Amino acid sequence: MITHLKKTDPNVYNFIKGEEKRQKNGMELIASENYVSPSVLEALGTVFTNKYSEGYPGKRYYGGQEFTDKLESLAIERAKKLFRSDHANVQPLSGAPANVAVYFAWLNPGDTVLGMDLTHGGHLTHGSPVTYMAKLYNFVRYKMKDVETGEIDYDELRRVAKKEKPKIILAGFSAYPREYDYAKMKAIADEVGAVAMADMAHIAGLIAAGLLKNPFDYGFHIITTTTHKTLRGPRGALILSKGTVGNPLKQVEKTIENLPTLIDRSVFPGFQGGPHMNTIAAITVALGEAAKPAFKTYAKQILKNAKAMAEELMDLGCKLVTNGTDNHLMVMDCVTSFGSNGKEIEVALDKAGITASKSTIPDDPLPPYSPSGLRLGTPAMTTRGMKEKQMKQIARWIVEISQNRNDEKKINKIKKDVQDLCLKYPVPGIK
Ligand code: DSN
């Protein structure tokens, strides 16, 4: 409960209240967003934010670490257990810094990374030319072989790997609705002597629940993830790795076996300063929640809901990239479906209180700010308790709005219906 701000800083108080109302009344379909539990929210807003804790448990550069050490150790233990890793670094401030810290740990300037093509679902930090990382390292690409099924072109991936000799082969995405063949990727990584890394930011919750494959089960060396998507924690990240855990204050040889120590040294002192201990408190709570049976039920429903939404959209004539989904997200081709583009449909949906995000489609001829696709996801509305029936209704609204995107009267009517439905499914932590 917010008790002081109203008097001390009414501007900020009013922005918070406005955002609460927006979240309560609106339909959240951004595939990378979620609603945290009241316990996660409580942990985030605590006095741990007052504390500097550079270093790692038992090896800090400041005094007063009695409780931060216990807290961070618990976070590490929970993360290791949940994802079956030898080591966990829980300090990265978010997903992009986590990926950068891995690159700094393992690569020398000019080294090559083989990652998913950005229009086929890859992420900015997997080497978009606009990032500083792309100036430091050489990013090369693999793609889907068949955009109708989503199957990745592993033969081409192998050919490129043998030619380019990447130091890291990277599985992971922010807009790919299918599963990887991790065993195939790991075999290629072994063949060329590369580290096998997975960025599972989008699907961490689904892996934690045992519903999607865990790359560690196929011999991957490193997994990075944000903590705020399907994992349903605060904004933060984890770097999980296999290998021997050494003293993070001491230099070690650059070997695959030493990855945990190289990663620790890369995060701090290599790249970041003090960890955000209040965030680590909230991550610890979220990891505890993700280990409970109720989370598995939740994760199962995310998948059922995504399938229901995708099927209804396709029944109504929409074209989805790969013709469906195996995870929590789908990408709608707005050019083929409505003679429009992702930006225009995103704006039209926003007017009705439905929030989604534009997205490229494979080999998109349109630019990223106004791409051909729209990405939709079910983690957030599943947290609010919605099931397949509501997903089908939402799909019908999406199509109706898209087809009538210039009809303000129609959109306003749907906005009312959207709000009525949303109010029946409260947001955790908002009265
Ligand atoms: N921005 C996130 C997403 O929407 O997928 C990834 O960083």
Task: For residue 139, give both structure tokens.
Answer: 């990013």
Q: What is the mean pLDDT of residues 54-67?
A: 98
Q: What is the mean pLDDT of residues 182-202?
A: 98
Q: Indicate if the pLDDT at residue 230 is higher than 80.
A: yes
- The Cα–Cα gap between 329 and 178 comes to 9
Q: Indicate if the pLDDT at residue 1 is higher than 80.
A: no
Tell me if residue 13 falls in helix, strand or coil: helix
Burial of 52 (0-12, 13-18, 19+ CB in 10 A): middle
Q: Among 119, 125, 224, 226, which one carries the catalytic annotation?
A: 226
Q: What is the pLDDT of residue 130?
A: 93
CATH architecture of 44-290: 3-Layer(aba) Sandwich (3.40)
Q: Where are the domains of the chain?
A: 44-290, 297-423
Q: Indicate if the pLDDT at residue 58 is higher than 90.
A: yes
Q: Pick the atom of ligand 1 nearest to 175's CA.
A: 5
The yes-or-no answer on residue 235 being catalytic is: yes
User: Of 28, 100, 123, which is best to mutate to test ligand 1, by the most ligand atoms within 8 angstroms of its C-beta?
Assistant: 123
Q: Among 199, 264, 289, 333, which one carries the catalytic annotation?
A: 199
- Taking the CB of residue 323, how many other CB atoms lie within 10 A of it? 14
Between the CA of 174 and the centroid of ligand 1 the distance, in Å, is 6
Binned at pLDDT 50, 70 and 90, residue 431 comes out as: confident
Q: Is the CB of 258 under 6 A from ligand 1?
A: no
Segment holding 358, helix H or strand E: strand 357-359
Task: For residue 246, give both structure tokens.
Answer: 């050494």
Q: What is the mean pLDDT of residues 37-59?
A: 98
Q: Among 229, 232, 358, 375, which one carries the catalytic annotation?
A: 229
Q: Indicate if the pLDDT at residue 67 is higher than 80.
A: yes
pLDDT tens-digit series, residues 369-401: 999 999 999 999 999 999 999 999 999 999 999
The yes-or-no answer on residue 226 being catalytic is: yes
pLDDT tens-digit series, residues 256-307: 999 999 999 999 999 999 999 999 999 999 999 999 999 999 999 999 999 9
User: Which of 87, 61, 63 has its CA nearest to residue 75?
Assistant: 87
Q: Is the CB of 174 under 6 A from ligand 1?
A: yes
Q: Indicate if the pLDDT at residue 412 is higher than 80.
A: yes
Residues in the chain: 431
Q: Is the CB of 205 under 6 A from ligand 1?
A: no
Q: Pick the atom of ligand 1 nearest to 125's CA.
A: 7
Nearest CA to ligand 1 atom 5: 174
* Amino acid at residue number 419: Q
User: Of 229, 231, 327, which is best to mutate to test ligand 1, by the most ligand atoms within 8 angstroms of its C-beta?
Assistant: 229
Between the CA of 355 and the centroid of ligand 1 the distance, in Å, is 14
pLDDT tens-digit series, residues 328-368: 999 999 999 999 999 999 999 999 999 999 999 999 999 99
**Percentage of the chain lying above the pLDDT 70 cut:** 100
The answer to whether 236 and 280 are in contact (CB under 8 A) is yes
Binned at pLDDT 50, 70 and 90, residue 165 comes out as: very high
For residue 267, how many C-alpha atoms fall within 13 Å in the half-sphere facing its CB? Answer: 29
* Amino acid at residue number 398: I
Per CATH, domain 297-423 is 3.90.1150.10? yes
The yes-or-no answer on residue 229 being catalytic is: yes
Q: Pick the atom of ligand 1 nearest to 30's CA.
A: 4
Instruction: Classify residue 232 as left (phi > 0), alpha (psi -120 to 50) or beta.
Output: left
Q: Among 54, 86, 153, 156, which one carries the catalytic annotation?
A: 54
Nearest CA to ligand 1 atom 4: 32
Q: What is the pLDDT of residue 383?
A: 98
Candidate from 12-21, 34-43, 119-128, 414-423 with smallest mean pLDDT: 119-128
Q: Pick the atom of ligand 1 nearest to 375's CA.
A: 4
Between the CA of 123 and the centroid of ligand 1 the distance, in Å, is 8
Q: Give just the sign of the alpha carbon dihedral 212, 322, 396, 22.
A: positive
Between the CA of 140 and the centroid of ligand 1 the distance, in Å, is 21
Between the CA of 93 and the centroid of ligand 1 the distance, in Å, is 14
Q: Is the CB of 97 under 6 A from ligand 1?
A: no
Q: What is the pTM of this model?
A: 0.97
pLDDT tens-digit series, residues 88-98: 999 999 999 99
Segment holding 170, helix H or strand E: strand 168-172
Q: What is the mean pLDDT of residues 17-33?
A: 97
The yes-or-no answer on residue 19 being catalytic is: no
Residue-averaged pLDDT of the chain:
97
Q: What is the mean pLDDT of residues 148-175?
A: 97
pLDDT tens-digit series, residues 131-143: 999 999 999 999 9
Binned at pLDDT 50, 70 and 90, residue 32 comes out as: very high
Nearest CA to ligand 1 atom 6: 174
Q: Is the CB of 32 under 6 A from ligand 1?
A: yes
Between the CA of 4 and the centroid of ligand 1 the distance, in Å, is 33
The yes-or-no answer on residue 132 being catalytic is: no
The yes-or-no answer on residue 158 being catalytic is: no
- The Cα–Cα gap between 352 and 411 comes to 6
Q: Among 13, 52, 61, 154, which one carries the catalytic annotation?
A: 52
Q: Indicate if the pLDDT at residue 234 is higher than 80.
A: yes
Q: Pick the atom of ligand 1 nearest to 96's CA.
A: 7
